[in-house]
Amino acid sequence: MRFIAPALVLLVAAFLLPLLYVVYLSFGGSSPSLEKYAAIATEPLYRQVLLNSVYISVVSTGLTLLLGYPIAYHLEAQPPRRRTVLMILVLMPFWTSILVKSFAFTVILGKSGIINSFLQWATGMEGHLPMLFNRFGVVVGMTHFLLPFMVFTVLASLLTQGPELRRAANVMGATRLTIFWRIIFPLSLPGVMAGILICMIMSMAMFITPALLGGRGDLMISNLVEFHVRDTLDWEMASALAVCLLAITGVFCIGIARVRGGQLFGEEG
């Protein structure tokens, strides 16, 4: 107990209490009311932003799965040495600042960016594809951000599968496709589910990507929190939105704990 005391003190003082204060403010602070929550539930702006968040998160998470699963599968099939080397390709972007990525995508997707310049050069036509400061840009940036998380989660679950079942199926004459769809994929489903939930948690709360790569119509919940803190100084509204985000995250966390057999982080074992 004495060993965890310092961490406990820090997190109670600088994490739990601040969070409780946010909850307190969201309910009107010293004059309790549900006014802010009522506004969130009824005003079109908030519904639109919630819809944006869900849409962008679902599309990005879907794309992340479509791209991430083959990467994880490819990594798993490599001999350990080669896998370590290829893992660096996934780890690198994981450890790269999101600002570096956002900056790179503004250069790649921009009006006179790399892709548009190339297209103009290749087709000889004027004009450009709108890929930045719109939903497309946000989804690309978000997918890039989420991809390593999906790869790690799915890879971990693929690596725990023993070779016995696959070998048995192989001996019995199953084709590669059958082995994949009847054994490998079903066994990896908990990993896939965990990956989806982790990506949903992170994308729903994304702040930087929609702020830098999105347009005015692509505001997400986090951006609205910032808007209320900086522009309207409506801290109670910002707090209410934060509590909603927290609640959404909580629901997804319960999902993760279920998929992982009661453990949120794998804290035991």
The rounded distance, in Å, linking the Cα atoms of 10 and 6 is 6
Sole binder of other proteins in the list 6, 32, 44, 80 (CB under 8 A): 6
**Residue 121 makes contact with other proteins by CB under 8 A:** no
Q: In this complex, which beta carbon is closest to other proteins, that of residue 125 or of residue 172?
A: 172
Sole binder of other proteins in the list 58, 59, 67, 193 (CB under 8 A): 67
Neighbours of 218 (CB within 10 A): 23
Estimate the crossing angle of helix 235-259 against helix 17-26, to 10 degrees.
120
Q: Locate tokens 């994981």: which residue?
A: 94
Q: Could you tell me which of 224, 250, 179 has the C-alpha nearest to residue 40? A: 224
**Residue 99 makes contact with other proteins by CB under 8 A:** yes
Minimum distance, C-beta of residue 38 to other proteins, in the bound complex (Å): 20
**Residue 109 makes contact with other proteins by CB under 8 A:** no
Minimum distance, C-beta of residue 95 to other proteins, in the bound complex (Å): 4
Residue 26 tokens read as: 């969201």
Sole binder of other proteins in the list 106, 128, 156, 258 (CB under 8 A): 106
Minimum distance, C-beta of residue 253 to other proteins, in the bound complex (Å): 6
Do 94 and 256 touch, CB atoms closer than 8 A? no
Residues numbered 27-56 forming contacts with other proteins, rule: CB under 8 A: none
Sole binder of other proteins in the list 42, 80, 126, 267 (CB under 8 A): 267
Stretch that binds other proteins, among 50-58, 65-73, 120-128, 186-194 (CB under 8 A): 65-73
Q: Could you tell me which of 27, 216, 54 has the C-alpha nearest to residue 227? A: 216
Stretch that binds other proteins, among 34-42, 52-60, 81-89, 187-195 (CB under 8 A): 81-89
Residues numbered 198-217 forming contacts with other proteins, rule: CB under 8 A: 201, 204-205, 207-208, 211-212
**Residue 93 makes contact with other proteins by CB under 8 A:** yes
Do 226 and 156 touch, CB atoms closer than 8 A? no
**Residue 134 makes contact with other proteins by CB under 8 A:** no
Neighbours of 87 (CB within 10 A): 17
Q: Locate tokens 């739990």: which residue?
A: 16
The rounded distance, in Å, linking the Cα atoms of 156 and 137 is 30
